[in-house]
Structure 1
Amino acid sequence: MDEMEVDLHRVEAVRGRPLKDWLATDVARTIAEIQAVNDGMATADETWPKKDDQKADGDGKLSQFASDANKADGNTETVDPKTGEVTDGVASTNNSAQGDQPAQGSQTAEDGPQPLAAATEDGAEASAASSSAKSEPDEPQMTEAEYEAYAIAWFAEAAVVEEARARWAREKSMRVNVKTATLTKLEALMKDTIARIKKDTNKG
Protein backbone atom coordinates (compact mmCIF):
# COMPACT_ATOMS: atom_id res chain seq x y z
CA MET A 1 0.00 0.00 0.00
CA ASP A 2 2.85 2.38 0.79
CA GLU A 3 4.44 1.66 -2.59
CA MET A 4 1.17 2.55 -4.31
CA GLU A 5 0.75 5.61 -2.10
CA VAL A 6 -2.66 4.34 -0.97
CA ASP A 7 -3.87 5.15 2.54
CA LEU A 8 -4.85 2.00 4.44
CA HIS A 9 -8.07 3.71 5.58
CA ARG A 10 -9.25 3.73 1.94
CA VAL A 11 -8.87 -0.05 1.74
CA GLU A 12 -10.55 -0.51 5.12
CA ALA A 13 -13.48 1.63 3.91
CA VAL A 14 -13.94 -0.66 0.89
CA ARG A 15 -13.76 -3.78 3.08
CA GLY A 16 -16.22 -2.25 5.52
CA ARG A 17 -14.14 -3.03 8.63
CA PRO A 18 -10.76 -2.11 10.13
CA LEU A 19 -7.70 -4.22 9.31
CA LYS A 20 -7.67 -5.94 12.73
CA ASP A 21 -11.18 -7.32 12.07
CA TRP A 22 -10.55 -8.62 8.53
CA LEU A 23 -11.59 -12.13 7.65
CA ALA A 24 -9.69 -14.48 5.36
CA THR A 25 -11.97 -13.50 2.49
CA ASP A 26 -11.13 -9.81 3.05
CA VAL A 27 -7.40 -10.54 2.88
CA ALA A 28 -7.78 -12.66 -0.28
CA ARG A 29 -9.91 -10.02 -1.98
CA THR A 30 -7.43 -7.25 -1.14
CA ILE A 31 -4.49 -9.30 -2.50
CA ALA A 32 -6.40 -9.87 -5.73
CA GLU A 33 -7.11 -6.15 -6.01
CA ILE A 34 -3.41 -5.30 -5.48
CA GLN A 35 -2.48 -7.77 -8.20
CA ALA A 36 -5.01 -6.23 -10.59
CA VAL A 37 -3.60 -2.74 -9.95
CA ASN A 38 -0.02 -4.00 -10.47
CA ASP A 39 -1.06 -5.67 -13.74
CA GLY A 40 -2.64 -2.44 -14.96
CA MET A 41 -6.15 -3.92 -15.01
CA ALA A 42 -7.39 -1.17 -12.65
CA THR A 43 -6.14 1.96 -10.93
CA ALA A 44 -5.67 2.43 -7.20
CA ASP A 45 -8.20 5.27 -7.12
CA GLU A 46 -10.81 3.11 -8.86
CA THR A 47 -10.19 0.15 -6.59
CA TRP A 48 -9.97 2.07 -3.32
CA PRO A 49 -11.69 5.46 -3.87
CA LYS A 50 -10.65 8.44 -1.80
CA LYS A 51 -13.04 9.60 0.90
CA ASP A 52 -14.59 12.38 -1.20
CA ASP A 53 -15.05 10.01 -4.15
CA GLN A 54 -16.69 7.40 -1.89
CA LYS A 55 -19.13 9.99 -0.55
CA ALA A 56 -20.08 11.18 -4.02
CA ASP A 57 -20.49 7.60 -5.23
CA GLY A 58 -22.56 6.75 -2.16
CA ASP A 59 -24.89 9.71 -2.76
CA GLY A 60 -25.36 8.65 -6.37
CA LYS A 61 -26.16 5.06 -5.37
CA LEU A 62 -28.58 6.27 -2.72
CA SER A 63 -30.41 8.48 -5.19
CA GLN A 64 -30.58 5.63 -7.71
CA PHE A 65 -31.88 3.24 -5.04
CA ALA A 66 -34.60 5.69 -4.00
CA SER A 67 -35.57 6.25 -7.63
CA ASP A 68 -35.78 2.49 -8.33
CA ALA A 69 -37.83 1.91 -5.18
CA ASN A 70 -40.28 4.68 -6.11
CA LYS A 71 -40.68 3.29 -9.61
CA ALA A 72 -41.42 -0.15 -8.18
CA ASP A 73 -44.17 1.38 -6.03
CA GLY A 74 -45.63 3.29 -8.95
CA ASN A 75 -44.35 6.64 -7.63
CA THR A 76 -42.55 9.28 -9.68
CA GLU A 77 -40.73 10.76 -6.70
CA THR A 78 -37.21 12.02 -7.46
CA VAL A 79 -34.43 13.12 -5.10
CA ASP A 80 -31.91 15.86 -5.86
CA PRO A 81 -28.54 14.46 -4.59
CA LYS A 82 -27.15 17.97 -4.07
CA THR A 83 -30.03 19.65 -2.23
CA GLY A 84 -31.88 16.58 -0.95
CA GLU A 85 -35.14 18.08 -2.30
CA VAL A 86 -37.86 15.54 -3.02
CA THR A 87 -40.32 15.98 -5.87
CA ASP A 88 -43.45 13.86 -5.55
CA GLY A 89 -45.24 13.36 -8.83
CA VAL A 90 -47.92 11.14 -7.27
CA ALA A 91 -49.07 13.83 -4.87
CA SER A 92 -49.64 16.31 -7.68
CA THR A 93 -51.41 13.64 -9.73
CA ASN A 94 -53.67 12.74 -6.82
CA ASN A 95 -54.45 16.38 -6.13
CA SER A 96 -55.38 16.89 -9.74
CA ALA A 97 -57.60 13.82 -9.72
CA GLN A 98 -59.29 14.90 -6.51
CA GLY A 99 -60.04 18.27 -8.02
CA ASP A 100 -62.34 16.57 -10.55
CA GLN A 101 -64.37 14.88 -7.82
CA PRO A 102 -67.21 16.58 -5.95
CA ALA A 103 -66.62 17.31 -2.27
CA GLN A 104 -67.73 14.51 0.02
CA GLY A 105 -71.03 15.10 1.68
CA SER A 106 -72.17 17.62 -0.96
CA GLN A 107 -75.59 16.85 -2.46
CA THR A 108 -77.95 18.60 -4.82
CA ALA A 109 -81.58 19.33 -4.19
CA GLU A 110 -82.47 16.33 -6.40
CA ASP A 111 -80.85 13.92 -3.92
CA GLY A 112 -83.80 14.26 -1.60
CA PRO A 113 -84.23 15.49 2.00
CA GLN A 114 -81.17 15.77 4.17
CA PRO A 115 -81.14 13.88 7.52
CA LEU A 116 -78.59 16.29 8.99
CA ALA A 117 -81.12 18.47 10.80
CA ALA A 118 -82.79 15.47 12.47
CA ALA A 119 -79.43 14.05 13.51
CA THR A 120 -78.44 17.41 14.97
CA GLU A 121 -81.68 17.60 16.98
CA ASP A 122 -81.19 14.07 18.30
CA GLY A 123 -77.62 14.92 19.27
CA ALA A 124 -78.76 18.07 21.06
CA GLU A 125 -81.37 16.14 23.04
CA ALA A 126 -78.83 13.49 24.02
CA SER A 127 -76.38 16.18 25.09
CA ALA A 128 -79.07 17.91 27.16
CA ALA A 129 -80.01 14.63 28.84
CA SER A 130 -76.38 13.92 29.61
CA SER A 131 -75.91 17.39 31.09
CA SER A 132 -79.04 16.95 33.19
CA ALA A 133 -77.82 13.62 34.53
CA LYS A 134 -74.45 15.10 35.41
CA SER A 135 -76.07 18.03 37.19
CA GLU A 136 -77.75 15.75 39.72
CA PRO A 137 -75.92 15.93 43.05
CA ASP A 138 -73.74 12.96 43.93
CA GLU A 139 -73.75 11.32 47.34
CA PRO A 140 -71.40 13.12 49.70
CA GLN A 141 -67.87 11.73 49.88
CA MET A 142 -66.74 11.42 53.49
CA THR A 143 -63.42 10.71 55.07
CA GLU A 144 -63.00 7.46 56.94
CA ALA A 145 -63.46 9.12 60.34
CA GLU A 146 -66.51 11.11 59.20
CA TYR A 147 -68.31 8.07 57.81
CA GLU A 148 -67.50 5.97 60.86
CA ALA A 149 -69.04 8.57 63.19
CA TYR A 150 -72.00 9.04 60.83
CA ALA A 151 -72.71 5.28 60.58
CA ILE A 152 -72.43 4.64 64.33
CA ALA A 153 -74.92 7.47 64.92
CA TRP A 154 -77.61 6.08 62.65
CA PHE A 155 -76.99 2.52 63.85
CA ALA A 156 -78.06 3.70 67.31
CA GLU A 157 -81.26 5.27 65.92
CA ALA A 158 -82.26 2.43 63.56
CA ALA A 159 -85.54 0.75 64.52
CA VAL A 160 -86.58 -1.32 61.45
CA VAL A 161 -84.47 -4.20 60.15
CA GLU A 162 -85.40 -3.77 56.47
CA GLU A 163 -84.75 -0.02 56.50
CA ALA A 164 -81.40 -0.50 58.23
CA ARG A 165 -80.29 -3.08 55.67
CA ALA A 166 -81.48 -0.95 52.74
CA ARG A 167 -79.69 2.13 54.08
CA TRP A 168 -76.46 0.20 54.57
CA ALA A 169 -76.65 -1.04 50.98
CA ARG A 170 -77.38 2.46 49.58
CA GLU A 171 -74.36 3.91 51.34
CA LYS A 172 -71.87 1.56 49.68
CA SER A 173 -70.48 4.40 47.53
CA MET A 174 -70.03 6.52 50.65
CA ARG A 175 -67.61 3.96 52.06
CA VAL A 176 -65.01 4.26 49.26
CA ASN A 177 -62.56 5.98 51.61
CA VAL A 178 -63.09 3.54 54.49
CA LYS A 179 -60.19 1.14 55.07
CA THR A 180 -60.68 -2.58 55.53
CA ALA A 181 -60.13 -2.61 59.29
CA THR A 182 -62.71 0.13 59.89
CA LEU A 183 -65.14 -1.42 57.43
CA THR A 184 -64.90 -4.76 59.24
CA LYS A 185 -65.64 -2.97 62.50
CA LEU A 186 -68.71 -1.23 61.02
CA GLU A 187 -70.03 -4.46 59.51
CA ALA A 188 -69.86 -6.06 62.96
CA LEU A 189 -71.73 -3.07 64.44
CA MET A 190 -74.33 -3.38 61.67
CA LYS A 191 -74.93 -7.03 62.62
CA ASP A 192 -75.25 -6.03 66.27
CA THR A 193 -77.73 -3.32 65.26
CA ILE A 194 -79.90 -5.83 63.37
CA ALA A 195 -79.79 -8.21 66.33
CA ARG A 196 -80.78 -5.38 68.70
CA ILE A 197 -83.70 -4.32 66.51
CA LYS A 198 -84.99 -7.89 66.30
CA LYS A 199 -84.69 -8.30 70.04
CA ASP A 200 -86.57 -5.06 70.66
CA THR A 201 -89.24 -6.09 68.20
CA ASN A 202 -89.75 -9.46 69.90
CA LYS A 203 -90.11 -7.75 73.25
CA GLY A 204 -92.78 -5.47 71.87
Structure 2
Amino acid sequence: MTVQRELPRKGPAVAKAKRLVVLVSGSGTNLQALLDAVAEHGAAAYGAEVVAVGADRTGIVGLERAERAGLPTFVCRVRDHATREEWDRALADATAAYEPDLVISAGFMKIVGKEFLARFGGRTVNTHPALLPSFPGAHGVRDALAYGAKVTGCTVHFVDDGVDTGPIIAQGVVEIRAEDDESALHERIKEVERALLVEVVGRLARDGFSIEGRKVVIP
Protein backbone atom coordinates (compact mmCIF):
# COMPACT_ATOMS: atom_id res chain seq x y z
CA MET A 1 0.00 0.00 0.00
CA THR A 2 1.40 3.36 -1.01
CA VAL A 3 0.96 6.34 1.27
CA GLN A 4 1.35 9.75 -0.34
CA ARG A 5 1.49 12.80 1.89
CA GLU A 6 1.25 16.05 -0.01
CA LEU A 7 1.03 18.66 2.73
CA PRO A 8 2.51 18.66 6.24
CA ARG A 9 0.37 18.31 9.30
CA LYS A 10 -0.47 21.35 11.34
CA GLY A 11 1.99 22.35 14.00
CA PRO A 12 4.69 24.90 14.80
CA ALA A 13 6.48 24.24 11.50
CA VAL A 14 3.39 25.18 9.51
CA ALA A 15 3.36 28.94 9.63
CA LYS A 16 2.50 30.03 6.12
CA ALA A 17 -0.87 29.75 4.37
CA LYS A 18 -0.88 27.22 1.55
CA ARG A 19 -0.90 28.63 -1.97
CA LEU A 20 -3.97 27.92 -4.13
CA VAL A 21 -4.26 28.27 -7.88
CA VAL A 22 -7.93 28.11 -8.88
CA LEU A 23 -9.00 27.08 -12.39
CA VAL A 24 -12.37 28.28 -13.73
CA SER A 25 -14.43 28.11 -16.92
CA GLY A 26 -17.55 30.10 -16.07
CA SER A 27 -19.16 32.19 -13.37
CA GLY A 28 -16.63 31.37 -10.66
CA THR A 29 -19.06 30.93 -7.76
CA ASN A 30 -16.82 28.32 -6.13
CA LEU A 31 -13.87 30.67 -6.55
CA GLN A 32 -15.88 33.41 -4.87
CA ALA A 33 -16.73 31.10 -1.98
CA LEU A 34 -13.03 30.45 -1.42
CA LEU A 35 -12.19 34.16 -1.65
CA ASP A 36 -14.96 34.97 0.84
CA ALA A 37 -13.68 32.34 3.28
CA VAL A 38 -10.14 33.72 3.14
CA ALA A 39 -11.45 37.27 3.58
CA GLU A 40 -13.64 36.27 6.52
CA HIS A 41 -11.12 34.20 8.47
CA GLY A 42 -7.79 35.50 7.18
CA ALA A 43 -5.35 33.40 5.21
CA ALA A 44 -3.44 32.24 8.28
CA ALA A 45 -6.54 31.04 10.12
CA TYR A 46 -8.16 29.49 7.06
CA GLY A 47 -4.85 27.89 6.13
CA ALA A 48 -4.73 28.92 2.49
CA GLU A 49 -4.88 31.85 0.10
CA VAL A 50 -5.67 32.13 -3.60
CA VAL A 51 -2.54 33.34 -5.41
CA ALA A 52 -3.75 33.15 -9.03
CA VAL A 53 -6.75 32.20 -11.16
CA GLY A 54 -6.51 30.42 -14.51
CA ALA A 55 -9.12 29.81 -17.19
CA ASP A 56 -9.60 28.03 -20.50
CA ARG A 57 -11.45 30.95 -22.08
CA THR A 58 -11.63 34.72 -21.98
CA GLY A 59 -14.58 36.97 -21.11
CA ILE A 60 -15.94 34.94 -18.21
CA VAL A 61 -17.26 36.15 -14.88
CA GLY A 62 -14.78 33.97 -12.99
CA LEU A 63 -11.89 36.04 -14.34
CA GLU A 64 -13.72 39.24 -13.46
CA ARG A 65 -14.07 38.03 -9.87
CA ALA A 66 -10.32 37.37 -9.75
CA GLU A 67 -9.48 40.78 -11.16
CA ARG A 68 -11.77 42.52 -8.66
CA ALA A 69 -9.92 40.67 -5.91
CA GLY A 70 -6.61 41.96 -7.28
CA LEU A 71 -5.37 38.50 -8.27
CA PRO A 72 -3.18 37.67 -11.25
CA THR A 73 -4.93 35.67 -13.97
CA PHE A 74 -3.92 33.56 -16.95
CA VAL A 75 -5.83 32.04 -19.85
CA CYS A 76 -4.86 28.87 -21.73
CA ARG A 77 -7.23 28.19 -24.62
CA VAL A 78 -7.13 24.81 -26.32
CA ARG A 79 -7.57 26.39 -29.76
CA ASP A 80 -4.38 28.41 -29.31
CA HIS A 81 -2.28 25.23 -29.34
CA ALA A 82 -1.56 22.75 -32.11
CA THR A 83 -2.39 19.71 -29.99
CA ARG A 84 -4.17 18.92 -26.76
CA GLU A 85 -0.83 17.80 -25.33
CA GLU A 86 0.71 21.22 -26.03
CA TRP A 87 -2.25 22.89 -24.34
CA ASP A 88 -1.86 20.63 -21.32
CA ARG A 89 1.83 21.49 -21.08
CA ALA A 90 1.09 25.21 -21.36
CA LEU A 91 -1.55 24.96 -18.64
CA ALA A 92 0.88 23.10 -16.40
CA ASP A 93 3.59 25.71 -17.02
CA ALA A 94 1.24 28.62 -16.32
CA THR A 95 0.00 26.99 -13.13
CA ALA A 96 3.49 26.07 -11.95
CA ALA A 97 4.61 29.70 -12.25
CA TYR A 98 2.61 30.47 -9.10
CA GLU A 99 4.08 27.55 -7.10
CA PRO A 100 0.76 26.21 -5.76
CA ASP A 101 0.48 23.78 -2.90
CA LEU A 102 -3.00 22.85 -4.14
CA VAL A 103 -4.77 23.39 -7.45
CA ILE A 104 -8.54 23.82 -7.26
CA SER A 105 -10.59 22.92 -10.32
CA ALA A 106 -13.62 25.12 -9.60
CA GLY A 107 -15.98 24.52 -12.48
CA PHE A 108 -13.05 24.04 -14.88
CA MET A 109 -14.59 22.26 -17.86
CA LYS A 110 -11.47 20.73 -19.40
CA ILE A 111 -9.86 17.38 -18.67
CA VAL A 112 -6.19 17.80 -17.82
CA GLY A 113 -3.60 15.47 -19.28
CA LYS A 114 -0.42 13.59 -18.45
CA GLU A 115 1.89 16.61 -18.15
CA PHE A 116 -0.43 18.45 -15.76
CA LEU A 117 -0.99 15.35 -13.64
CA ALA A 118 2.75 14.61 -13.56
CA ARG A 119 3.24 17.93 -11.78
CA PHE A 120 0.01 18.33 -9.83
CA GLY A 121 -1.46 14.85 -9.47
CA GLY A 122 -2.47 14.08 -5.91
CA ARG A 123 -2.97 17.76 -5.12
CA THR A 124 -5.56 18.91 -7.67
CA VAL A 125 -9.04 19.10 -6.15
CA ASN A 126 -12.25 18.93 -8.19
CA THR A 127 -15.98 19.05 -7.45
CA HIS A 128 -18.71 17.03 -9.13
CA PRO A 129 -22.51 17.48 -8.81
CA ALA A 130 -23.34 13.88 -7.92
CA LEU A 131 -22.43 11.24 -5.38
CA LEU A 132 -19.55 9.49 -7.13
CA PRO A 133 -19.01 6.84 -8.32
CA SER A 134 -22.65 7.25 -9.44
CA PHE A 135 -23.37 9.59 -12.36
CA PRO A 136 -19.90 10.73 -13.45
CA GLY A 137 -19.38 12.96 -16.48
CA ALA A 138 -20.79 16.23 -17.72
CA HIS A 139 -24.45 15.53 -16.95
CA GLY A 140 -24.44 14.23 -13.39
CA VAL A 141 -27.53 16.17 -12.31
CA ARG A 142 -29.55 15.23 -15.39
CA ASP A 143 -28.50 11.60 -15.14
CA ALA A 144 -29.52 11.31 -11.47
CA LEU A 145 -32.97 12.71 -12.29
CA ALA A 146 -33.41 10.45 -15.29
CA TYR A 147 -32.42 7.40 -13.25
CA GLY A 148 -35.05 8.14 -10.62
CA ALA A 149 -32.57 8.49 -7.76
CA LYS A 150 -34.09 9.76 -4.51
CA VAL A 151 -30.92 11.43 -3.26
CA THR A 152 -27.92 12.89 -5.02
CA GLY A 153 -25.40 15.53 -3.97
CA CYS A 154 -21.84 16.58 -4.62
CA THR A 155 -18.40 15.07 -4.35
CA VAL A 156 -15.07 16.74 -3.69
CA HIS A 157 -12.28 14.53 -5.00
CA PHE A 158 -8.72 14.50 -6.22
CA VAL A 159 -8.19 14.51 -9.98
CA ASP A 160 -6.63 11.50 -11.67
CA ASP A 161 -6.38 10.42 -15.31
CA GLY A 162 -10.01 9.29 -15.49
CA VAL A 163 -13.29 11.18 -15.66
CA ASP A 164 -14.43 11.83 -12.08
CA THR A 165 -12.61 8.70 -10.88
CA GLY A 166 -10.08 10.15 -8.42
CA PRO A 167 -10.00 9.44 -4.67
CA ILE A 168 -13.00 10.92 -2.85
CA ILE A 169 -12.27 13.47 -0.15
CA ALA A 170 -15.81 14.36 1.01
CA GLN A 171 -19.44 14.22 -0.10
CA GLY A 172 -22.63 16.14 0.62
CA VAL A 173 -26.14 14.74 0.19
CA VAL A 174 -29.06 16.56 -1.45
CA GLU A 175 -32.60 15.17 -1.53
CA ILE A 176 -34.30 14.96 -4.92
CA ARG A 177 -37.78 16.43 -4.71
CA ALA A 178 -40.73 15.34 -6.82
CA GLU A 179 -41.03 18.80 -8.38
CA ASP A 180 -37.34 19.11 -9.23
CA ASP A 181 -36.14 19.83 -12.73
CA GLU A 182 -32.45 19.85 -13.62
CA SER A 183 -32.01 23.57 -12.97
CA ALA A 184 -33.69 23.61 -9.55
CA LEU A 185 -31.84 20.53 -8.37
CA HIS A 186 -28.50 21.82 -9.62
CA GLU A 187 -28.92 25.10 -7.74
CA ARG A 188 -29.49 23.25 -4.46
CA ILE A 189 -26.47 21.05 -5.15
CA LYS A 190 -24.31 24.10 -5.82
CA GLU A 191 -25.15 25.56 -2.42
CA VAL A 192 -23.94 22.40 -0.69
CA GLU A 193 -20.98 22.13 -3.05
CA ARG A 194 -19.66 25.61 -2.28
CA ALA A 195 -19.78 25.07 1.47
CA LEU A 196 -18.20 21.61 1.21
CA LEU A 197 -15.37 22.83 -1.03
CA VAL A 198 -14.53 25.66 1.37
CA GLU A 199 -14.49 23.25 4.31
CA VAL A 200 -12.41 20.62 2.51
CA VAL A 201 -9.78 22.98 1.11
CA GLY A 202 -9.31 24.57 4.51
CA ARG A 203 -8.89 21.21 6.19
CA LEU A 204 -6.43 19.95 3.58
CA ALA A 205 -4.39 23.13 3.92
CA ARG A 206 -4.41 23.29 7.72
CA ASP A 207 -4.13 19.63 8.61
CA GLY A 208 -2.41 17.96 5.66
CA PHE A 209 -3.57 14.65 4.23
CA SER A 210 -2.50 11.27 2.97
CA ILE A 211 -3.82 9.16 0.09
CA GLU A 212 -3.85 5.46 0.96
CA GLY A 213 -5.01 3.51 -2.06
CA ARG A 214 -8.38 5.11 -2.80
CA LYS A 215 -8.84 6.52 0.70
CA VAL A 216 -8.06 10.12 1.57
CA VAL A 217 -7.10 10.55 5.22
CA ILE A 218 -7.14 13.98 6.87
CA PRO A 219 -5.72 13.89 10.41
The answer, yes or no, to whether TM exceeds 0.5 is no
TM-score by length of 1: 0.16
TM-score by length of 2: 0.15
More strand as a share of residues: 2
Larger RCO of the pair (alpha carbons < 8 Å, separation 6+): 2
